[in-house]
Amino acid sequence: MAAIGVLGAGTWGMALARMLCNMGHDVQVWSALPEEIDVLMATGKHPKLAHMELPEDLGYTKSIQEVSGNKDILLFAVPSVFVRSTAKAVCPYVADGQVIVDVAKGIEPGSLFTLTQVIRDELSRRQELSKVKLVALSGPTHAEEVAVDLPTTIVAACEDLDAARRVQSIFMNPKFRVYTNDDIHGVEICGAFKNIIALGTGIARGLGYGDNTAAALITRGVREVARLGELMGCKPDTFNGLAGIGDLIVTCTSKHSRNLTCGMLLGRGKGKEEAIREVGMVVEGIYALDAAMELKKKYQVELPICEAVDAIVNQGMSALAAGEALMERMGRQE
């Protein structure tokens, strides 16, 4: 059994903490928001996952030092915008030999680092941590379903397959099947970009378009992400796997998808801030747009769906006009 520190008490962190604790692991949860820990301890419930029963032996702490001490695994489950600050805060307490698992999905604007690269960048302040393994855990996984043990699959990705296998063996259970992949960069690119494609699919839904359009955006979307990823040196197969097309399908179709919901609101004419407020939880696709546009420039690659979403979200173009322009630009060769 493993000792696991969970950083972040949002829906995904808590769904995984519950699952790991029920498997018999020794799990402790930390949040940057002390009041969040108070609510969890007092009620045994997560306010946004009311149907989830939290086990009594799940531990909590408000101390980042405590959550990271004597742990085999540190699980980063904060939204992408807080990954760097959380890595900076935990860095003094990380021990050599620990494995850090990141489940957040995004790319840092400016540095264009994936989130495990952001964590590595912060850890590099302490040379002795150069051997700490970083694993990305990503795939078609909504917290709402893992919270009640519905069958789910996910990918543990690391250049060092032994580290990925270690995470696989710790997280795997009869309802949660973990695959391994050594293409961590490809897995992380998939996780960040699928949220943008889901925003686009939601916008199309909001405009009243149907299943034909959604299928087109999903299928052309995976090609779009793969085109960029291959230029970045990622493996083509990654984009056709669970972290690629698998996550894209669930994010573009599920009622639990915040990016899809946010897109629908945008497609119905709501502004960015209003749509985000209405969703009420992190909408990673919005944050990923700046990095996507920077990557487009850097790699001189066509990303027509991402560009259309950026035009609507960040440049005030009407969803209808952006959609029409997109139909013209989506390429002619499969």
Ligand X SMILES: NC(=O)c1ccc[n+]([C@@H]2O[C@H](COP(=O)([O-])OP(=O)(O)OC[C@H]3O[C@@H](n4cnc5c(N)ncnc54)[C@H](O)[C@@H]3O)[C@@H](O)[C@H]2O)c1
Residue 52 contacts ligand X per CB under 6 A: no
CA distance 99 to 3: 11
- Catalytic residue at 270? no
Residue type (1 letter), 299: Y
Least distance CB 261 / ligand X (angstroms): 12
Answer whether 100's CB lies under 8 Å from 94's CB: yes
**Binding-site member from 17, 40, 104, 242 for ligand X (CB under 6 A):** 104
User: Segment contacting ligand X (CB under 6 A): 19-27, 98-106, 128-136, 164-172?
Assistant: 98-106
- What minimum distance in Å lies between the beta carbon of 242 and ligand X? 12
Nearer to ligand X, 142 or 220 (CB): 142
Of 27-46, which residues contact ligand X (CB under 6 A)? Answer: 31-33, 36
Residues contacting 114, CB < 8 A, separation 6+: 107, 108, 136, 184, 185, 188, 189, 192
Q: Are strands 152-157 and 133-138 parallel, antiparallel or unpaired?
A: antiparallel
Applying CB under 6 A, does 103 fall inside the site for ligand X?
A: yes
17 contributes a contact to ligand X by CB under 6 A = no
CB contact set of 316 (below 8 Å; sequence gap of 6+): none
Sheet holding 3-7, edge to edge: 59-61, 26-30, 3-7, 73-76, 99-102, 133-138, 152-157, 176-181
CB of 9 to ligand X, least distance (A): 4
Catalytic residue among 71, 194, 255, 298: 194
In three-state secondary structure terms, 60 is strand
Binders of ligand X among residues 57 to 96 (CB under 6 A) are: 77-80, 82, 85-86
Give the footprint of ligand X on this chain (CB under 6 A): 8-13, 31-33, 36, 77-80, 82, 85-86, 103-106, 141-143, 281-282, 284
